[in-house]
Amino acid sequence: MNSTLGFGEILAINLDRRTDRRNSLCLISAISSLKVTRIRASTPSDIEDEPLFDLEKSSLRPAEIACWRSHVNAWRHVIESGVETAVILEDDADWHVNIKEQFALLSKELLKNGAPIPPKGGGKWTPKKQRASDDFLRPYGRGWEVLIFGQLWSEWQADDSPRPSFTYRDTAGPKPDRLQEDFLEEMTLHGIEAGAKNMNMRVVAQSAGFVGLTGYAITRDAAQKLLYRIGIVPSDSAVDIQIRDLSYLCEVDTLVITPPLVSPWRTGGPGDTDIQEELFRVNGIGEGSVRREMARRWGADLGIVESDPSNPPAEAGEDHSQTDNKL
């Protein structure tokens, strides 16, 4: 697995003022032997004259609109750079020290099974092996447009039947007691019951709903589609909700990996988030966290909270910055 995990580029969205996160990204990328390209994050001051939003009437906060603009800019970069695929990260991303092995395994499973997306003309999806030699630019196979592996939580309609999926074992994956309830529920929905025999399992499924964009991959064709549907056509929803809705309607072929391979870094302090008042408890990477490894190597206790279920989200009213976006 190469320095961009087999994708054309790895992009990380980062605010100019968050040099702390930029420094951390530099270090954890070095630990993992990854090449990460920075995309400057937009701020509320950048979108004061944004033509797609009436700032006085919009239900979105300026920080959420700036977050939308940041992701749109990343898609435009993908198109202009000419890469076939790219990973897009938010700069609080945490991952496992063995991330290359984890993505090599994901590539193997996607090539073995194919993307669990039903045929466009109707009918049932069935696993179909793809050969890696078919297209060296697409080591994760074809059939998907967006690959979500850094969601904050899962969402689905009460009357939804399980969407097409396959499962695989990742020995470096988190144990069930480190997972939040909605991830456990989604895994059960796809036939993975809690128990010793189902330890370290992951689900790759057609998206039925998700929230959060800590980490995802996108094809150049999908970047073009999203740039039009989300970057030109007006909407009053947050960027992740717009992608979620397009995915739910099968207008974008989106796969979701559960539990996520990438999680947001949490210390429990006011620097955790620049867009939301809440701190979300999400799946943690666990003892394999690359940020834990960074702290271990250089001897600093960074106060990691990440996903321990005994650590609840921050109480409403705690002082978290609302001046910039989450990036």
Q: Is residue 120 pLDDT above 90, yes or no?
A: no
| The predicted structure's pLDDT at residue 181 | 83
- Cβ neighbors of 100 (< 8 A, separation 6 or more) are 1, 5, 32, 33
Reduce the DSSP state of residue 85 to 3 states and report it: strand
Render pLDDT for 44-94 as a digit per residue (tens, 0 to 9): 989 888 888 777 788 889 899 999 999 999 999 999 999 999 999 999 999
Q: Is residue 307 pLDDT above 50, yes or no?
A: no
**Structure-token match 């090539």, residue found:** 111
Reduce the DSSP state of residue 205 to 3 states and report it: strand
